[in-house]
Structure 1
Amino acid sequence: MTKYTFPQNFMWGAAASGIQTEGSTNKANDSIWDLWHQKSPERFYRGISSETVTDTYHRYQEDVQNMKKVGFNSFRTSIQWSRLIKDYETGEVCQDAVAFYNNYLDEMIANGIEPMMNLYHFDMPAELQEKFGGFESKKVVDMFADYAETAFKLFGHKVKYWITFNEPIVPVEGGYLYDFHYPCKKDGKLAVQVAFNIILAHAKAVHRFNALELENSKIGIVLNLTPSYTRNDSEEDKKAAWYADLLFNRSFLDPMVKNEIPQELCDVLEEQGVTPETTSKEVELITTAKVEFLGVNYYVPRRVKAREASYDLDYFTPEVYFENYVNPEGRFNPYRDNNEILPTAVYDIAKNVQENYGNIPWYLAEIGIAMDVESEGEPGEDGLIDDSFRTGLMKEHLVQLHRAIQEGSNCFGVHQWTFIDNWSWLNSFKRRYGFYRLDLETGDRIPKKHGLWFKELATTGSFED
């Protein structure tokens, strides 16, 4: 057995989002997820919407106690734009939302749990999408900056860690390339414009945050970084991986962390005829918006090979430069759509951040091991659900993270996705990730064995394997 010890004051906890947990009680306005479910409920697994979900709005006190039971010292969730802002033109806030978020933050802080608050988790207000096209519009970029400043002023004295966006590439992919988020468009040029506008919105929010000079508060970004691994060592496959990394990772990582827009990216976009509309002032804002920390979400690796088949879409997507590839010798999760398991990817991510991004302070903002209800089984005599498969895999990933930290990687925490099985977009509750199972009929939180292991890890800062 080897003992793996993590640094003192390491942040241990979980991540979630407002829209996936709070429910719709007293919500000021609809988001695009409410709107889409109204239009196309058949797109959602078993037709389940985000209306009730885990009902954190009413059960936050109980939930904070459950956080303590599994040893959390920190927790990331999000403020819902559509809950906090009552009138988007005037910026008037919903006082009920202000009270809820204050109470939730106070409850976490009183119980020794550091809140980390994210401002955008895929949940564009429906009104802004329908009127202006969401982040297709520069007007909405400015409205986001206004909303962000409002949140900073309201809660900045309580929140030490702010995040502008979670996985900002996902609304681009889902809403404008691959049809798994609203508005379900397939338009490569529009996708690139939305991506640029989101980066600009982030930059404007960072500048608003810095202007307030909030004491003991930091601002960062959470990106889903997926290393690209090749089929073989051929130059063609290596070039395919380079393109995948440029378009899926560096497209957001370089502007938001290095404050650089890669020339290679500009060349690709020009080659494809999808260059976004920008101004020199906007580029200046992006290249001067310094973040203080990075969150990294990791689930699965990306496998690519040089394109062999012809590219048959009539609009631009990154796959014009490569094909996705399934490793025939890979190891796969039998409980989540056979996704590949590759713990060494965590080490590769950590070293990339260390060597190519100034070793910026970063944390593993999401790492999730999905199982379905059937594979987890029913609670045993001890009242716990046996998800030891999840614990085993988490150990393997943390061994790789520990190796990187020993080599100098500036990692300060690990947050697992997620706290309680939560509603997850089109998948609804198909995939379960939580420390607690959510009973969809009663709303009860049922503990899982993995939580006992995690509490020991969080309490001692170490584990043996």
Structure 2
Amino acid sequence: MAEKDEFVNENNGVNSIGFVNKEVSRADFPPNFVFGVSTSSYQVEGACNEGGRGPSIWDAFTHTQGKIVDHSNGDVAVDHYHRYMEDVDLIAKLGFGAYRFSISWSRIFPDGLGSKVNHEGVAFYNRLIDALLQRGIQPYATLYHWDLPLHLQESMGGWLDKKIIEYFAIYADTCFASFGDRVKNWLTINEPLQTAINGHDIGIFAPGRCENSSIEPYLAAHHQILAHAAAASVYRSKYQEKQGGQVGIVVDCEWAEAYSDKIEDKAAAARRLDFHLGWFLDPLCFGDYPEIMRERLGDQLPTFSEEDKKLLANSLDFIGLNHYTSRLISHVTESSDSGHFYRTQATERIVEREGGELIGEKAASEWLYVVPWGIRKTLNYIAQKYKLPLYVTENGMDDEDDDKVPLNEMLDDKLRVRFFREYLASVASAIKDGVDVRGYFAWSLVDNFEWAQGYTKRFGLVYVDYKNELTRHPKSSAYWFSKFLRGRKGERRSRAHRSLVNALSTAL
């Protein structure tokens, strides 16, 4: 939709460091545009054996030796379960108007089956939702952020069994009934691609399967798509008219920029997007998987019945996009990537141009390069193809945890400030292009358990001192957002910056 991308140069649409030092202000966004922060239940809640919660697949996975880099787990995480009031106060004082959190399925139904509601779990989320609303913060609730009840995995294979669609619908129904009078924005499933691939192909996420990667990831994805549609159908038929809310799904996507002007590389980049976005959005918007996936996967890809297609139709009110980074994509005959899914695409992800210039500055995670122009291209692509409202449901970058670095240096997260300033400028440009983007959620409110990386990576606007009672300390990026949300231009670092951050920490 964009005629010309002001964030890139003319050389393959990529600049060498990603930054253009563009200022952005709250006034660059519509008055009703939503700004929020995101977390997920397993990453922040802790209290793994409290409040009637049942175990999830991530409890089992993290307690299996060798699965987590630093041998940690989410048993305590950052103790959001007990400290939610403190965290809600942080959100309010920073000036955010929304909080995207996920509900732990095993807090509502400890065995996942839906036969007996855990009222302590319902009460916890009621307290959280009420606390948010009392401070003028809108709750955005995700029903599934990877923490499947362990019983469903052990008794029936989790997402590999079609019966899980019914169990998910029962769980969703209970959440709509319990919280829908106050929660008006529902996200059914977070990043189904990661559950399918990292959970059932490469095996680096729970449940850690890689035994039958030519079948299982596609089955897990298929059932997640239908589970979303079943939950949306429940909401449409029983709750939407009375409660007045909306339902979406969260997909994740790196922007795929062709490595060169060669037809093969352009086709490879398009193929990459079909495999990552089209895999989930094509069925929900058009009734079937992308043609290129059918062509390359054949009967390894499940089929939708006519009844399924009726369920899929009109099951999305909006699309949630989790976007962090971008890659140059080239065509290869044999991919070096791990996993059946990636090898099938016959593409290569590249971070350097032919001259050796990086696509963007590298963050802490090996996969994360800072490429602000990529989010604008991704938003334009989705809007043009799927024609639905959009929310950026996650966007952020990480620092390496290093307990040898003084606290004041960890709090002065200069790169993250630049990241948010320029990614937000790119989102604002997408809106000017005509994309219907309605909200933006920073990942993450607080440093937390980062899945296979444990506590070695820090994505938070707020620093959590893991060795000192999980004390919260707002970072420079929190200060920047606070100024931005109050309508002032995002300020560059000044000599007085550290004292201002300290003042904010005291105030919060």
Q: Normalization by structure 1: what TM-score? A: 0.92
Deviation at residue 45 of structure 1 after TM alignment: 2.4
Give yes or no for the alignment of 1:208 onto 2:237. Answer: no
Match 1:336 to one of 358, 365, 368: 365
Deviation at residue 87 of structure 1 after TM alignment: 4.6
Deviation at residue 318 of structure 1 after TM alignment: 4.6
Give yes or no for the alignment of 1:193 onto 2:219. Answer: yes
Task: Encode CA deviations 1:417-450: one digit per residue, 9 max, x unaligned.
Answer: 0001011111111110111111112111111111
Task: Encode CA deviations 1:146-190: one digit per residue, 9 max, x unaligned.
Answer: 111111111110101000011111011111221211232231222
1:142-221 equivalences in 2 (<5 Å) = 142-186=166-210, 187-214=213-240, 215-221=243-249
Moved more, 255-264 or 22-31: 255-264
* Residues 260 and 460 of structure 1: CA distance in aligned 2, closer, same or farther (over 3 Å): farther
* Residues 9 and 320 of structure 1: CA distance in aligned 2, closer, same or farther (over 3 Å): closer
Moved more, 202-211 or 315-324: 315-324
Partner AA of 2:262 in structure 1? S
* Residues 160 and 310 of structure 1: CA distance in aligned 2, closer, same or farther (over 3 Å): closer
Task: Encode CA deviations 1:85-135: one digit per residue, 9 max, x unaligned.
Answer: 135445311111011000000000000110000000011111101111111
1:56-205 equivalences in 2 (<5 Å) = 56-186=80-210, 187-205=213-231
Q: Which runs of 5+ in 1 are unaligned?
A: none
* Residues 52 and 323 of structure 1: CA distance in aligned 2, closer, same or farther (over 3 Å): same
Give yes or no for the alignment of 1:251 onto 2:274. Answer: no
Moved more, 60-69 or 83-92: 83-92
Deviation at residue 200 of structure 1 after TM alignment: 0.5
Counterpart position of 2:61: 36
Partner AA of 2:145 in structure 1? H
Partner AA of 2:332 in structure 1? R
Structure 1 contact 363–413 (Cα < 8 Å) conserved: yes
Moved more, 273-282 or 295-304: 273-282
**Separation in structure 1 between the aligned mates of residue 322 and residue 464 of structure 2, nearest angstrom:** 23
1:433-448 equivalences in 2 (<5 Å) = 433-441=459-467, 442-448=469-475
Counterpart position of 2:34: 11
Classify the secondary structure of the residue corresponding to 1:41.
coil
Partner AA of 1:8 in structure 2? P
Classify the secondary structure of the residue corresponding to 1:455.
helix
Counterpart position of 1:294: 319
Task: Encode CA deviations 1:51-95: one digit per residue, 9 max, x unaligned.
Answer: 000111111111111111211110100111111113544531111
Partner AA of 1:306 in structure 2? H
**Separation in structure 2 between the aligned mates of residue 63 and residue 154 of structure 1, nearest angstrom:** 23
Structure 1 contact 228–304 (Cα < 8 Å) conserved: yes
Classify the secondary structure of the residue corresponding to 1:422.
coil
**Separation in structure 2 between the aligned mates of residue 298 and residue 375 of structure 1, nearest angstrom:** 28
Structure 1 contact 351–409 (Cα < 8 Å) conserved: yes
Classify the secondary structure of the residue corresponding to 2:416.
helix
Classify the secondary structure of the residue corresponding to 1:423.
coil
Q: Identity over aligned residues, as a percent?
A: 29
Deviation at residue 15 of structure 1 after TM alignment: 0.6
1:414-425 equivalences in 2 (<5 Å) = 414-425=440-451
Aligned CA RMSD, in angstroms, stands at 2.3
Match 2:302 to one of 276, 280, 293: 276
* Residues 48 and 192 of structure 1: CA distance in aligned 2, closer, same or farther (over 3 Å): same
Structure 2 contact 294–301 (Cα < 8 Å) conserved: yes
Match 1:450 to one of 463, 469, 477: 477
Classify the secondary structure of the residue corresponding to 2:320.
strand
* Residues 113 and 342 of structure 1: CA distance in aligned 2, closer, same or farther (over 3 Å): same
Give yes or no for the alignment of 1:385 onto 2:411. Answer: yes
* Residues 258 and 65 of structure 1: CA distance in aligned 2, closer, same or farther (over 3 Å): farther
Give yes or no for the alignment of 1:404 onto 2:430. Answer: yes
**Separation in structure 1 between the aligned mates of residue 130 and residue 337 of structure 2, nearest angstrom:** 53
Structure 1 contact 91–146 (Cα < 8 Å) conserved: no
Deviation at residue 362 of structure 1 after TM alignment: 1.1
Structure 2 contact 329–348 (Cα < 8 Å) conserved: yes
Give yes or no for the alignment of 1:372 onto 2:397. Answer: no
Moved more, 195-204 or 29-38: 29-38
Structure 2 contact 463–473 (Cα < 8 Å) conserved: yes
1:350-365 equivalences in 2 (<5 Å) = 350-358=379-387, 360-365=388-393
Classify the secondary structure of the residue corresponding to 1:305.
strand
Counterpart position of 1:237: 265
Moved more, 203-212 or 405-414: 405-414
* Residues 193 and 391 of structure 1: CA distance in aligned 2, closer, same or farther (over 3 Å): same
Deviation at residue 319 of structure 1 after TM alignment: 4.1
Deviation at residue 49 of structure 1 after TM alignment: 0.6
Structure 2 contact 107–122 (Cα < 8 Å) conserved: no
Classify the secondary structure of the residue corresponding to 1:47.
coil
Q: Which runs of 5+ in 2 are unaligned?
A: 1-21, 493-508
* Residues 440 and 312 of structure 1: CA distance in aligned 2, closer, same or farther (over 3 Å): closer
**Separation in structure 1 between the aligned mates of residue 202 and residue 410 of structure 2, nearest angstrom:** 39
Give yes or no for the alignment of 1:304 onto 2:329. Answer: yes
**Separation in structure 1 between the aligned mates of residue 340 and residue 419 of structure 2, nearest angstrom:** 39
* Residues 338 and 182 of structure 1: CA distance in aligned 2, closer, same or farther (over 3 Å): closer
Classify the secondary structure of the residue corresponding to 1:241.
helix
Q: Normalization by structure 2: what TM-score? A: 0.85
**Separation in structure 1 between the aligned mates of residue 364 and residue 60 of structure 2, nearest angstrom:** 31
Number of residue-to-residue matches in the alignment? 458
Structure 2 contact 288–304 (Cα < 8 Å) conserved: no
Moved more, 103-112 or 403-412: 403-412
Match 2:45 to one of 16, 22, 35: 22
Deviation at residue 27 of structure 1 after TM alignment: 4.2
**Separation in structure 1 between the aligned mates of residue 457 and residue 34 of structure 2, nearest angstrom:** 25
